[in-house]
Structure 1
Amino acid sequence: MTNIMVATDGSKGACRAIDVAADLARALSCDLLIVTVADRLLGEEVRQLPHTGASPSDLLEAFTGQTLKAAEARARELGLSRIEVRTCWGDVTQCLIDLATTTSARMIVVGRRGRGQLAGLLLGSVSHKVVSLAPCAVVVVP
């Protein structure tokens, strides 16, 4: 199976990456693997979720579920039907590299900046790290 993997964290940059990945998958007749990596919730994201008294891990799982559901819906709007979604847990860069390797992804599509913009400036962006470590081609969407 030839596939394109796209990472999403629900940010505007990730939404643009979904659009580009869907266009590429359609043009190249590829399957699309949409992945989000659960690492932490930011305060803004916690406020978007219903207040149910749930644990932080339950909130994180709910947020990642919402993120994947929206990304899959967008890819379907753009005409794709062969879509798989996955949530990974842990370090974002390492999870993306490991998943690209185990799924034999032909391409990874990522947004240039995600929801952790300050951390990206201080520690180096996920997109930069993925470009450096990926086992396949990487498209970085501005």
Structure 2
Amino acid sequence: MFNHILLASDGSEYSIRASEKAVCLAENNPNAKITIAYVVDGAASSSDSHQWNALDLNESRKQKLLITERKLQQAHVSYEVKILHGDPALTLVEFAAENDFEVLVIGSRGLNTLQEMVLGSVSHKVAKLAPCPVLIVK
């Protein structure tokens, strides 16, 4: 059983599937806690800032995590949300290492800065560099 689970989420369909698997890992374990990590890509956030104000950006990010949070709440799993900034793959790997996570759960594909599905370059890089086991969810 895993107690310290890192869930990478960007609001994509694949990250929502990953949240379901993270719940499976945490179910029936009162010591389990999931940390949802949403990484704001520096390039994406600077291009977004020309079109949105800070409040709109924060609300947009919250909306992307709403389904994931709802799934964890319904399963009565303890969780927290962390908003991180930087290159998604490297930031997730660094955060996992600094916080001694036992497993990192990530979708096989995610959203790029244009909110389109992209090949799983982030999940591939995370799997290669992470200091803990990585569960990649299709």
Equivalent residue number for residue 19 of structure 1: 20
Q: Structure 1 unaligned segments of length 5 or more: list them.
A: 47-52
**Do 2:10 and 2:38's aligned partners in 1 also have CA atoms closer than 8 Å?**
yes
Structure 1 runs (4+) deviating above 3 angstroms are 57-60, 117-121
8 Å CA contact 2:110, 2:117 repeated in 1? no
Distance 1:94 1:59, change over 3 A: farther
What does the per-residue CA deviation read over 1:44-101, in whole Å, with 9 as the maximum and x for residues that have no partner?
xx8xxxxxx743x544332222223332121111231x11111001110111011101
Preserved contact between residue 109 and residue 140 of structure 1 (Cα < 8 Å):
yes
> Structure 2 vs 1, CA of residues 27 and 129 (structure 1 numbering), >3 Å: closer, same or farther?
farther
Give, in whole Å, the separation in 1 of the partners of 2:136 and 2:96: 15
TM (normalized to structure 1)? 0.78
Q: Do residues 107 (structure 1) and 103 (structure 2) align?
A: yes
Q: Flag structure 2 segments of 5+ consecutive residues without an equivalent.
A: none
2:38 match: 36
What code does the residue aligned with 2:36 have?
I
What does 1:115-126 align with in structure 2 at a 5 Å threshold? Answer: 115-116=111-112, 120-121=118-119, 125-126=121-122
How many residues align? The count is: 128
CA contact (8 A) 1:23 1:78 kept: no
CA RMSD of aligned residues (A): 2.5
Deviations 1:26-60 (A, max 9, x none): 2554211111011226xxxx8xxxxxx743x5443
Q: Structure 2 length normalisation: TM-score? A: 0.80
What CA distance in whole angstroms lies between the structure 1 residues aligned with 2:3 and 2:97? 13
Matched, 1:83 2:79: yes
Is the counterpart of residue 95 in structure 1 residue 91 in structure 2?
A: yes
Amino acid across the alignment from 2:10: D
In structure 1, C-alpha distance between the alignment counterparts of 2:108 and 2:68, rounded to whole Å:
17
